[in-house]
Structures are given as structure tokens and as C-alpha cells.
Amino acid sequence: MLRVLVTGFEPFNNAKLNPSESLVTRLNSNDVAGAEIITKVLPVVYSKSATELLDLIDEYQPDVVLCFGQVAGRKEISIERFAVNLDDASIADNAGSKRVDQKIKVDGPAAFTSTLPVTDLVNTLNGKGIPSGASLSAGSFICNHIFYEMQFALAGTSVKSGFIHIPLMDEQQEEFPGLFTMPLDQMILASKIIISELVASSN
């Protein structure tokens, strides 16, 4: 049985919803054969998000960690390749903290790679009709912040981990007029396909 920790984020920047929160709250522990799924919604706060994630990893000792986050304007499921050592965003977190040109780890490497099979997962999702692509990095806000802290902590271990950005969901059309949205059910299906692929590759 593959133990998979799946996280999303609460809404941020005064938004009412976050599809990554909706996704993880809809996942059940036994949704994918061969996997035990553990879910958690993380705060969009620099000082808390990564700490909570690393505490969950310590508590549950997962084999895989999949972190999901929202990216407005994207038209596909984006599996991120790199976490960069940088906090730098035009908006503040949910605690009012704004970081500009700040290293996450003063003596840390410039970047870490995802340890997920990014290309294989993208090909599988596209093959099943779910628009997907590999993205270079997770940006430089909270999504990237937890991704970098996670990869730093898990470096050298056997845990597979990475970050996945998902588009806005249909329920956000009124709040984000003119921007692409994707049905939440399609994003949930994508997460289950990803987990199924990771189960298969672990056998």
C-alpha cells in the first residue's frame, strides 16, 4: 500500500475559493486502489505553510507527497519541474507578510527538482484527455515556498514529491471573469490518475 499525502491551499488574495482546497476535501483515503490517501489544507502563510507540511510528513511518513495549488490564467494541469530558492511576490500572504527578493534558505541550493516522473505523468494525463503540461517552476510565492522547503527536507530520501498547479475551477467564473476555468471533477480525476500511476510504478 502506497501512502500518499495530498495537500491544497486555503483561498488567498481575498478570493472566496481555491480549487486545490476543493480538490483535497473531495478526495477520500481509499479513492485509488493500492493507495492510502491522506489530505490536508495548508494556510497561505509563509511562516506556517511549510512547517505544517513538514510536520505532516514527519507524522505520516508518506511514500509520496503531492502538493496542489491554484494558478489563475493557466489552461492545463501544470506539473512543476523546479522549486527555486526565492520568496518574491507582488501580493502579501494571508497574514499580511510580503516578501521581495528573499532567499528561502540562506545557504541552500538555487533550486531542487521534482522527484515525480513529470514527463510520464503529463503524457498519461494528456492521453486520457486531460490538458496537462510540464512547467519550469512553481513561481516565487507560497506554492514555491512549500515546494522548496519540502524538497530540501526530503533530499536524499526515497520519498517521491512534487508540486502541481491547477487552473481556476468553474465555480470561480464570476470572481475571475474572462479567465479559463476547468471543471473540478476533471481536476480530481487528474489527481487520481496521477496517484494510480505512482502506485503502478512502485510495484
SS3 115: coil
Identify whether 80 is a catalytic site residue: yes
Q: What are the counts of helices (DSSP H) followed by strands (DSSP E) for the chain?
A: 5, 9
- Cα dihedral sign, 78-83-84-87: positive
- From 21, 67, 76, 143, active-site residue: 143
Distance CA 14, CA 77 (A): 23
Distance of alpha carbon 195 from its chain centroid, rounded?
A: 13
Q: Which three cell numbers stand for residue 168?
A: 481556476
163 Cβ contact partners less than 8 Å away, ≥ 6 residues apart: 67, 68, 69, 79, 80, 83, 114, 138, 143, 144, 146, 147
Q: Verify whether residue 165 is a known catalytic residue.
A: yes
Q: Which one from 67, 76, 145, 165 is the annotated catalytic residue?
A: 165
Out of 80, 145, 149, 197, the active site residue is: 80
The answer to whether the CB of 72 falls within 8 A of the CB of 176 is yes
Q: Is 143 in the active site?
A: yes
Residues 6+ apart with CB under 8 A from 193: 124, 125, 128, 130
So which residues are the catalytic ones?
A: 80, 143, 165
